């Protein structure tokens, strides 16, 4: 009896999750191909792939003129990948040091990383824009990347340090005791054990960068047009077009997650300990 | 020669003094146990020897060579951790091979040595398992195997059996002792379990609050405790307080406030000193009143009333009242079982009754 209740509870939860995920997605898909869709019809009266063709640059757009989805997509993807690499390159050593060593003001440093999120974003970015303008970084791709790295580090450092903290120090000490230097112990023991946490941190940074709007808006415009910026600027007057962009934005996220999952499965049959 | 010597070792955590000028030496091939209650500084000592903790003062020598400033990986010390610390992402084989790889030993020889050491802990079939696919006892043995496969000069074990169940713990005690006898590695073993210490040690060092309270072979620690703390730590002990009224070489007599006199063995006591007789349940013999005295001269004889008697299987556990004193006694169940309220005669051989100073005084460094 109990187990039946539990089973049906699980089933109900599954249905809710399914609807919550698939519902909006289905709506996006339908909108992206709706040529004509007036109330009170449940489904579009006329379907076409014109918006997809326009978005992919296969057909000139009458609605939005010269907006180029393909280049915006490639730009966003490139920035996101570079942001992941740079953020992790900083997060891994920083997170490890914060987790393993008694660094003076360690907690203060951790909070420093949270600081940009403790204030309303707009004033922060306006100030950053002032600094970037002076430094010649405003409206440049490196400038936008710097913003994304800054935002990504918040999660990166916190997740990586939490991951390293969860690894018992005795594992690395055991490696030292059989002759491994501090670096080898880190590289052969701590790093592979932290891999799942580090990868999820990387996914987080990647998705955050792909989605980032506010900072890019202030620092990037008008020269750096990422996909979210294009999405926001087009969604005002064309729901179909916005749906297409939203769906395209989903693609790298899903691909990245699947890839990570594959890597995790291969490296870790069932995780740690 | 790999004698381990700690000289005036001093370690503080902030304001807490964990080790207070600790002096200790372990002869080549000897197995010495650090025994003491939780927080007395056993782990701290081990971490200092293994190089993960830098002492504020003092020095550590292995085979006469000063290693105080040498990093852990260059000390040639094998470590067995309380939680085993096996690497969860490596198979048993890789766990054992890791240290050999670090020494750039050829693959063929690694295979041979790992196989040999796995056989010695009876886990040859488990080479391809991951640690989490092993039972606690098996993980324990792999942890031991990982430490000895490198044939270290010194082996350090920190409460290696404390996570095992009672039965396995008892079995592993003998296995560790056997491995030590076979390899003859200079070993420092840490535990808070006095029976474990008695079973496996050549020598026991009793610690308290970062100080050595006594250092000697198990039997000596048990029979001739240097102070009240040591006497109390080596098993169940009832203390009978009194004043020293006679000293004759090793023999020492005390008298309680009620006029009860006890003769036992003690040292460093003078007439008039406050002292305690440390009565161990296993040293107490019960008999009918007025029965013949089987013990030699100087056996203590008292009248007692049985307050409780509990049958525990191999033993009967008594609570006895002598005057206003409560004592425990343990007798084999093959002897006559006395009931509650029965008047009995209680005998304690002087040879089996340590007398120690009562000043539970400041721990005295030896
Ligand atoms: N990292 C630490 N920071 C502060 N105090 C510590 C630390 N490790 C141990 N201590 C203190 O040092 C003393 C000895 O500890 P430890 O060597 O772990 O004892 P044991 O292993 O005998 O139980 C204890 O009082 C303990 O509280
Ligand atoms: Mg300890």
- Residue A62: predicted pLDDT: 59
| Through-space distance between the first and last CA atoms of chain A, rounded to whole angstroms | 34
Looking at residue B224, the DSSP 8-state letter turns out to be: S
- Return the exposure string of A75-103: e unless at least 16 CB atoms fall within 10 Å of the residue's CB, then b: bbbebbebbbebbbeebbebbbebbbeee
Q: Where are the domains of chain A?
A: 2-64, 70-271
Q: Do B71 and A178 touch (CB under 8 A)?
A: no
Tell me how far apart the alpha carbons of residues B133 and A87 are, in angstroms, rounded to a whole number: 36
Closest chain B residue by Cα to residue A271: B89
Q: Do A181 and B98 touch (CB under 8 A)?
A: no
Preceding omega of A40 cis (within 30 degrees of 0): yes
Say whether pLDDT at B78 is over 70: yes
Confidence of residue B71 (pLDDT cuts 50, 70, 90): very high
Reported ipTM exceeds the 0.90 cut: no
Percent of chain A with pLDDT over 90: 18
Q: pLDDT tens digits, residue range A93-107?
A: 999 998 888 777 777
Residue that the structure tokens 């966003």 belong to: A76
- Residue B3: predicted pLDDT: 93
Highest mean pLDDT among A38-42, A154-158, B34-38, B248-252: B34-38
Say whether pLDDT at B291 is over 60: no
| A192 Cβ neighbours under 8 A, 6+ residues apart | A267, B89
Structure tokens at B177: 């002792």
Half-sphere exposure of A50 (CA within 13 A, CB side): 13
Higher pLDDT, B288 or B21: B21
Higher pLDDT, B214 or A105: B214
Q: What is the maximum alpha-carbon separation in chain B?
A: 76
| CATH value of A70-271 in 1.10.357.10, 1.10.287.610, 3.40.50.2020, 1.10.3720.10 | 1.10.3720.10
| B14 Cα nearest atom in ligand 1 | 4
Q: Do the bridges between strand B274-279 and strand B261-265 make them parallel or antiparallel, or are there none, so unpaired?
A: unpaired
| B42 Cα nearest atom in ligand 1 | 22
Q: Do B89 and A175 touch (CB under 8 A)?
A: no
Q: Do B73 and A179 touch (CB under 8 A)?
A: yes
Tell me how far apart the alpha carbons of residues A79 and A145 are, in angstroms, rounded to a whole number: 6
Say whether pLDDT at B365 is over 50: no
How far, rounded to the nearest angstrom, does the alpha carbon of residue B358 sit from its chain's CA centroid? 23
Q: A216 and A228 in contact (C-beta within 8 Å)?
A: yes
| B40 Cα nearest atom in ligand 1 | 22
Q: B125 and B91 in contact (C-beta within 8 Å)?
A: no
- Return the exposure string of B248-261: e unless at least 16 CB atoms fall within 10 Å of the residue's CB, then b: eeeebbbebeeebe
Say whether pLDDT at B224 is over 80: yes
Q: Atom 19 in ligand 1: which residue has the minimum CA distance?
A: B39
| B208 Cβ neighbours under 8 A, 6+ residues apart | B36, B37, B40, B229, B363
Say whether pLDDT at B171 is over 80: yes
Higher pLDDT, B364 or B176: B176
Q: Atom 1 in ligand 1: which residue has the minimum CA distance?
A: B13
Q: Atom 14 in ligand 1: which residue has the minimum CA distance?
A: B41
Interface test with B, best of A172, A179, A183, A271 (most B CBs within 10 A): A179
Of A177, A192, A267, the CB nearest to B50: A177
Say whether pLDDT at B366 is over 50: no
Q: Rounded to the nearest 10 degrees, how much is the dihedral formed by the CA atoms of B133, B138, B141, B142?
A: -10
Instruction: Map residue B163 onto helix, strand or coil.
Output: coil
Within an 8 Å CB–CB cutoff, is residue A187 touching chain B?
no
Structure tokens at A122: 């707009």
Interface test with A, best of B53, B67, B83, B87 (most A CBs within 10 A): B87
Instruction: Map residue B191 onto helix, strand or coil.
Output: strand
Please list the pLDDT of chain A residue by residue as tens digits (273 residues): 667 888 888 888 888 888 887 888 888 888 777 777 777 777 777 777 777 777 777 766 555 555 577 788 888 889 999 999 999 999 999 999 988 887 777 777 777 767 766 777 778 788 888 888 888 877 888 888 888 898 888 878 888 998 999 999 999 999 999 999 999 999 999 999 998 888 888 888 888 888 888 778 877 777 777 878 877 776 566 777 778 878 887 887 788 778 777 766 655 444 443
Among B19, B43, B55, B210, residue to substitute to test ligand 1 (most atoms within 8 Å of Cβ): B43
Of A178, A268, A272, the CB nearest to B99: A178
Contacts of B46 in chain A (CB under 8 A): none
Interface test with A, best of B52, B72, B90 (most A CBs within 10 A): B72
Question: What is chain A's length?
Answer: 273
Within an 8 Å CB–CB cutoff, is residue A265 touching chain B?
no
* Region label for B128, one of left (φ > 0), alpha (ψ between -120 and 50) or beta (otherwise): alpha
State the DSSP string of B131-172: GGGS-HHHHHHHHHHHHHTT--SEEEEESTTTTS-HHHHHHH
| A197 Cβ neighbours under 8 A, 6+ residues apart | A159, A160, A162, A163, A164, A166
- Residue A272: predicted pLDDT: 41
- Residue A60: predicted pLDDT: 66
Tell me how far apart the alpha carbons of residues A156 and A202 are, in angstroms, rounded to a whole number: 7
Closest chain A residue by Cα to residue B148: A178
- The Cα of A173 is separated from the nearest Cα of chain B by a number of Å equal to 8
Q: B286 and B346 in contact (C-beta within 8 Å)?
A: yes
- The Cα of A184 is separated from the nearest Cα of chain B by a number of Å equal to 9
Higher pLDDT, A272 or B231: B231
Of B81, B99, B132, the CB nearest to A179: B99
Say whether pLDDT at B142 is over 90: yes
* Averaged pLDDT, B100-122: 93
Q: Please enumerate residues of B whose Cβ is less than 8 A from a Cβ of A.
A: 50-52, 71-74, 77-79, 81, 83, 85-89, 98-99, 102-103, 131-132, 146-147, 150
- The Cα of A172 is separated from the nearest Cα of chain B by a number of Å equal to 9
Instruction: Map residue A222 onto helix, strand or coil.
Output: coil
Q: pLDDT tens digits, residue range A234-257?
A: 656 677 777 887 888 788 778 877
- Residue B364: predicted pLDDT: 45
């Amino acid at each position: 009896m109990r187990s039946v209740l539990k089973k049906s509870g699980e089933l109900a939860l599954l249905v809710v999750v399914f609807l919550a995920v698939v519902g909006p997605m289905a709506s996006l898909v339908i909108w992206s191909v709706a040529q004509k869709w007036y109330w009170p019809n449940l489904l579009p009266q006329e379907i076409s792939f014109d918006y997809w063709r326009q978005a992919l640059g296969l057909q000139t757009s009458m609605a939005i003129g010269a907006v180029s989805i393909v280049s915006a997509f490639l730009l966003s993807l490139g920035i996101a990948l570079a942001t992941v690499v740079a953020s992790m390159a900083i997060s891994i050593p920083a997170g490890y040091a914060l987790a393993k060593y008694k660094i003076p003001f360690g907690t203060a440093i951790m909070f420093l990383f949270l600081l940009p999120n403790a204030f309303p974003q707009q004033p922060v970015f306006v100030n950053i824009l002032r600094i970037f303008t002076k430094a010649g970084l405003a409206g440049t791709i490196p400038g936008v990347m710097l913003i994304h790295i800054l935002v990504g580090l918040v999660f990166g450092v916190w997740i990586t340090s939490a991951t390293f903290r969860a690894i018992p120090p005795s594992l690395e000490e055991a490696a030292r005791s059989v002759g491994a230097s501090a670096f080898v112990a880190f590289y052969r023991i701590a790093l592979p054990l932290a891999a799942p946490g580090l990868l999820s941190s990387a996914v987080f940074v990647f998705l955050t960068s792909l989605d980032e709007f506010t900072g890019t808006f202030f620092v990037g415009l008008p020269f750096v047009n990422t996909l979210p910026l294009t999405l926001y600027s087009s969604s005002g007057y064309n729901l179909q077009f916005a749906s297409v962009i939203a769906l395209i934005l989903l693609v790298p996220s899903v691909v990245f997650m699947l890839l990570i999952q594959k890597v995790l499965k291969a490296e870790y049959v069932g995780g740690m300990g | 020669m790999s004698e381990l010597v700690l000289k005036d070792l001093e370690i503080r955590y902030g304001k807490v003094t964990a080790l207070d000028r600790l002096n200790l030496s372990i002869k080549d091939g000897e197995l010495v146990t650090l025994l003491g209650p939780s927080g007395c500084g056993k782990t701290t000592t081990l971490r200092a020897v293994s190089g993960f903790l830098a002492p504020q003062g003092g020095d550590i020598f292995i085979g006469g060579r000063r290693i105080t400033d040498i990093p852990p990986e260059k000390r040639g010390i094998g470590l067995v951790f309380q939680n085993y610390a096996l690497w969860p992402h490596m198979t048993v084989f890789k766990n054992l091979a890791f240290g050999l790889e670090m020494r750039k030993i050829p693959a063929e020889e690694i295979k041979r040595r790992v196989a040999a050491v796995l056989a010695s802990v009876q886990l040859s079939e488990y080479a391809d398992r991951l640690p989490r696919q092993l039972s606690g006892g098996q993980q324990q043995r792999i942890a031991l195997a990982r430490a000895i496969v490198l044939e270290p000069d010194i082996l350090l074990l920190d409460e290696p059996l404390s996570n095992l169940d009672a039965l396995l713990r008892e079995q592993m005690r003998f296995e560790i002792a056997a491995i030590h006898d076979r390899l003859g590695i200079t070993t420092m073993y840490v535990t808070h379990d006095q029976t474990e210490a008695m079973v496996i040690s050549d020598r026991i060092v009793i610690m308290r609050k970062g100080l050595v309270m006594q250092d000697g072979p198990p039997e000596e620690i048990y029979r001739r405790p240097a102070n009240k703390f040591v006497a109390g730590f080596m098993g169940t002990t009832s203390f009978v307080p009194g004043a020293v009224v006679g000293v004759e070489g090793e023999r020492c007599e005390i008298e309680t406030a009620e006029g009860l006199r006890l003769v036992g063995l003690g040292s460093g006591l003078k007439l008039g000193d406050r002292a305690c007789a440390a009565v161990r349940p296993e040293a107490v013999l019960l008999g009918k009143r007025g029965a013949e005295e089987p013990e030699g001269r100087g056996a203590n004889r008292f009248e007692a009333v049985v307050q409780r008697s509990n049958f525990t299987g191999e033993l009967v556990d008594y609570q006895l009242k002598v005057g206003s004193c409560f004592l425990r006694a343990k007798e084999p169940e093959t002897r006559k079982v006395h009931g509650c309220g029965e008047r009995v005669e209680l005998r304690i051989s002087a040879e089996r009754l340590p007398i120690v100073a009562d000043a539970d005084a400041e721990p005295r460094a030896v």
